[in-house]
Structure formats: C-alpha cells, structure tokens
Structure 1
Amino acid sequence: MSQPLYIFDLDETLISADSAILWHQFLVKKGIITDPKFLTEDQRLMTLYAAGKLNMPEYLNFAMAPLAQLTKEQVDNLVDECVEKYIMPTVFPQALQLLAQLKQDNITTVLISATVSFIVKKVAKQLGIDHAMGIDMLVENGCYSATILGVASYREGKVTRLGSWLAEQTECFTDTYFYTDSINDLPLCEFSQYPHVVNPCPQLARHAQAQHWPQLAWSPLTEQ
C-alpha cells in the first residue's frame, strides 16, 4: 500500500534562521570560539551557500575546527542546550501546525539538511519528525572530525541520501512532498512529486513560478 512522505529542509524552511549560524553564535557566547573574525567569515561562507556556490568540505574544515579539543559527549551536550535555547524558538508556527497535523494523520516525515547531523537529529527529535539526515562527521578518538562520512546531504547529495533511505524502507512512498527555501535543493525539488517552496530565495522562486510549484509565506512567531 502506497503512502505519502513529507520531506523538509531545516534552515530558513522550518526555522526562520540558519541553525549552523545560531550554533556558531552560541559557541562564541560559551567562549569556545574566540577568534573575533570567525562569525564574519561564517557569514561570508553562508552567503556563498545561499548563492549555491559553497564548497562544503572547505566549509566543514572551517566550521569543525573550534570543536577539535572537545569530546563528542561535550559537543552533544552543547548541542542540546543550543537547540533548546536558540534553535527551537525560531521554528515557524506554520511548520509546527503542519507537523502536528501530519503526526495526527500518521504520515511519515523526514528532515534532510546540509547542516551536520549531530545538530539536525536533535532538532528533528524536538520537532517530532520521524527520520533525520544531515552531514555525518567521522568520530576519531572520541571527537568529531572534519571528515565527511558517506555522501554529504548537500545539493544532489540530498537526492542520493533520500534514495538510499527509500530503498531501505518496507513501505512504498509514491507521493513525496518536499518543503524548502533554497536553490541548493533544486535537485530534490525535481525529484519530488510535490515540491513546495517556503519563503524561497529569488533563484528558487523563479523555478517555482515556472513550474507552478506552491509558494508559501511563513512568518516567525514575533510577526504573527
């Protein structure tokens, strides 16, 4: 029996911010990132990401460097605090309503993001999303490294990761719904039967208009 599947991007889609930027700001507050130029460089790299031009391995070398002296357990504990205090308050109310309805209807949900999986999985758990995929980082000597494990869930890699996940499922998902804001997710939009764009970037908005994809305007809680 076929079932619908709802797939979501995270940053600027379910939340009104970028979780990686919030994470780095949190690490500055905690005194773990001490380089005064770090957040400026982070913003420069995120601008490249928004344009679909980011070199992901280079970005991860930069982003993971401050964690080199922390154990996996220490990082995971910090992630718990960051998700609860800084990421969850940025979830769009419309996203919460949709996720609640899907849970009530027993519809399977997947969160797939180009953010590192140790953040993505914690957010998915808080949101009650059934399955989560992010960029998996190799753990060496009890610490997260900057080495990517397997296929990075970025651009075409999201399609690869989702395809591998679908092949492992016993259910048959014939109707796939995908929600995103980013031009980086165009491959997964084209892979999905029913793409929906949320506050899309100009590049993705043009594709959505040409393909007659639904365009949603979601607002943060403070703007309701």
Structure 2
Amino acid sequence: MPNALHVFDMDETLINADCTMVWHQFLVDKGFASHQFIEEDQRLMALYAQGKLDINEYLQFSLSPISHLSKVWLRALIEECIDKHIISTQFPESVRLIDSLKQDNVDILIISASAAFLIEPLAQRMGIKHAIGVDLVDDGQYYHAQISGTPSYREGKVTRLQQWQNKQTKTYHELHFYTDSINDLPLCEYADYVYLVNPCSRLKRYFTERHLPHWTVLNWGSL
C-alpha cells in the first residue's frame, strides 16, 4: 500500500473554534489585554475569512500583550488555556479519525497559520507528534513580533509542507488534506485528496462549481 500522509488544518477543522481567538479571550480574562483587544481581533479575523489578512500585522497584534512574558511563563499559560478552554472544542469526529489513523500507523501532520508556540503544545495535547505553525523570532528567552522563515499561511503552507517532507526519511505517495478555509486553497490544489470540514462559503462554492472528484465535504459537529 502507498505511504499516505494526512495533513490537518487546526482551526474550525480539528477543533470547533479558532484556537488563537480562544487564546486572546483567555488573555483578556487573565488581565493581559483589554476588551478592545477582542474587538480588534474580530476585525482582523473578518479579513482572514475574506482571504485578505496580513499575517505579519496579525502576529504583531497577537503578540503585543505578551511580548514581555518569558517563553517559560508563556508556555505555562498556553497549557492552562489548552486544558481549560481549547481541547474540549475538538470535534468528536476528529478525535475518532485521529485515533483510527494512529492505530493504522498513518503519519499525521498539523499545519496551521496560528503561531507555532500555540499549535505545537496543542498538537501534543491531541497526541499528534508533528505540527507546523508560524515561527516567530526568539532570543532564547522571549518571542519577538517577527516571522522566522516562511509563514504557514495560504501558499506558504505548501512551502512549509514541502520543506517538512524534504527532511523526512519516508517518501509519501498520497497526500490527504483536511481544511475549512478558502485560505488553504493552494494546499487543497496541491493535495491528492481533500476533505472540506464544514467548509466556508467560498471554499464550498469553489468545490461545487468544479465537481472535483477527489474532494469530499465532511459535516462535523452540530453543523
């Protein structure tokens, strides 16, 4: 059988939420940011939904309340947020699918446009070894609001996936990709098989108009 790699977007795909937005609300609740921070978050995420978000602007905004926190302190806060507010939003269907893939020894990779410092511990909490998020410059003790390398956003997801594949000892003959977002269209077109999890209207329309044979719509959760 061919070696298959199953690649998952995180937000609104594996989880019925946006982990960064949950994280931002957590920061407000903890007193690190004001309610105006959430309003700006909502404005920027509306641009994301339209495929118009400037990822550099968003990450600078996202890091602004916590740039003074050490990586150690930040990791402790992130793990608290994951355990209390994020992991419970995982779609039951994604839990079962991941368990099934792991039982069959199928390799799994998460690739997200959220910051790696949030995505990596969340993936670990889900029992997934490999995860790619947007890497930020750090000096060993603090993160800085500068992107390191290619951001895993839009066509950058394809680049980051290719870079990851080039480092593996195994050759993959099938690429399966799961997402909800029009922003992931470049990776959808790169993959062999695509699964649209409660897709946004623009991605669903793209699929419907083209009758793509190796694309499947998955209705997870209550949607």
Instruction: Give me the TM-score of the superposition, normalised by structure 1.
Output: 0.95
Equivalence for 1:16: 16
Moved over 4 A (4+): none
Contact 1:117 1:134 survives alignment (8 Å):
yes
Instruction: Give me the TM-score of the superposition, normalised by structure 2.
Output: 0.96
Aligned-pair CA distance for 1:140: 2.9
In 1, the alpha carbon distance for the partners of 2:207 and 2:35 equals 39
Where 1:68 maps in the other structure, the secondary structure is coil
The superposition leaves residues 112-138 of structure 1 with CA deviations (integer Å, 9 ceiling, x where unpaired) of 000000110111111111310000111
Equivalenced residues, count: 220
Equivalence for 1:207: 206
Match for residue 220 of structure 2 among 196, 218, 221: 218
Aligned-pair CA distance for 1:61: 1.0
Aligned-pair CA distance for 1:49: 0.5
Equivalence for 2:88: 89
In 2, the alpha carbon distance for the partners of 1:6 and 1:141 equals 32
Equivalence for 2:178: 179
Identity %: 47
In 2, the alpha carbon distance for the partners of 1:67 and 1:36 equals 15
| CA-atom RMSD in angstroms | 1.3
Where 2:64 maps in the other structure, the secondary structure is helix
The superposition leaves residues 155-192 of structure 1 with CA deviations (integer Å, 9 ceiling, x where unpaired) of 00000000011111111101110000000000000000
In 1, the alpha carbon distance for the partners of 2:176 and 2:207 equals 14
Aligned positions of 1:99-138 closer than 5 A: 99-138=98-137
Amino acid at match of 1:84: D
**Segment drifting more, 186-195 vs 66-75:** 66-75
Aligned-pair CA distance for 1:141: 6.3
Aligned positions of 1:15-94 closer than 5 A: 15-33=15-33, 35-94=34-93
- Stretches of structure 2 lacking an aligned partner (at least 5 in a row): none
The superposition leaves residues 64-121 of structure 1 with CA deviations (integer Å, 9 ceiling, x where unpaired) of 0101211111111100101111110000000000000000000000000000001101
In 2, the alpha carbon distance for the partners of 1:81 and 1:200 equals 29
In 1, the alpha carbon distance for the partners of 2:93 and 2:66 equals 34
Contact 1:2 1:172 survives alignment (8 Å):
no
The superposition leaves residues 17-50 of structure 1 with CA deviations (integer Å, 9 ceiling, x where unpaired) of 10000000001111111x3311001001001001
Amino acid at match of 1:21: M
Aligned-pair CA distance for 1:142: 1.5
